[in-house]
């Protein structure tokens, strides 16, 4: 679809697409994904990135590679969560300035300094932990 015009309205942006003339026609587009060419994206601050640029990046904690970004989730806190898959493990790591050491999109690398124990929060329970949990309930 071709974007015909846009304007701010109540803290949001309203988009007018060519060929969409009524609110009813526009409502049929709710939930659709909006994409633009990478060459037409707005420039971002140095510590920001587009989700499409983050997916596939290798995530490192200091000198240890954790895995690769498979998704980015929003809405669970102040910082978006990087969903990082490493072997059989999957981690949710806040993409927060406080943890970010270096973002190198050209080499698809995200270098972080994570707080001690952050990765263990996502770790599956050990057999011993499962046994104690079962005994406690």
69 — pLDDT class (breaks 50, 70, 90) = very high
Q: Looking at residues 114-121, what average pLDDT do you find?
A: 85
What pLDDT score does 54 carry? 95
pLDDT of residue 87: 83
> How many C-beta atoms lie closer than 10 Å to residue 51's C-beta?
14
C-alpha dihedral sign at 85, 89, 92, 97: negative
- CATH superfamily entry for domain 51-121: PRC-barrel domain (2.30.30.240)
**Per-residue pLDDT band at 44 (split at 50, 70, 90):** confident
CA-closest candidate to residue 19, choices 33, 34, 10, 29: 29
Question: How far is residue 81's CA from residue 71's CA, in Å, rounded to a whole number?
Answer: 8
> Domain boundaries in the chain?
3-34, 51-121
Quick check: pTM over 0.85?
no
Q: Is the pLDDT of residue 58 over 90?
A: yes
> CA–CA separation, 20 vs 2, rounded Å?
10
Percent of the chain with pLDDT over 90: 52
């Amino acid at each position: 679809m071709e974007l015909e015009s846009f304007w701010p309205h109540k803290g949001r942006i309203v988009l007018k697409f060519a060929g969409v003339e009524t609110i009813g026609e526009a409502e049929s587009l709710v939930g659709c994904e909006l994409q633009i060419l990478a060459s037409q994206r707005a420039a971002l601050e140095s510590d920001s990135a587009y989700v499409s640029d983050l997916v596939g990046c290798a995530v490192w904690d200091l000198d240890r590679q954790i895995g690769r970004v498979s998704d980015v989730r929003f809405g669970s806190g102040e910082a978006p969560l990087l969903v990082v898959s490493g072997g059989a493990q999957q981690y949710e790591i806040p993409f927060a300035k406080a943890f970010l050491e270096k973002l190198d999109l050209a080499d698809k690398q995200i270098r972080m300094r994570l707080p001690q124990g952050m990765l263990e929060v996502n770790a599956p329970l050990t057999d011993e932990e499962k046994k104690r949990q079962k005994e406690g309930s």
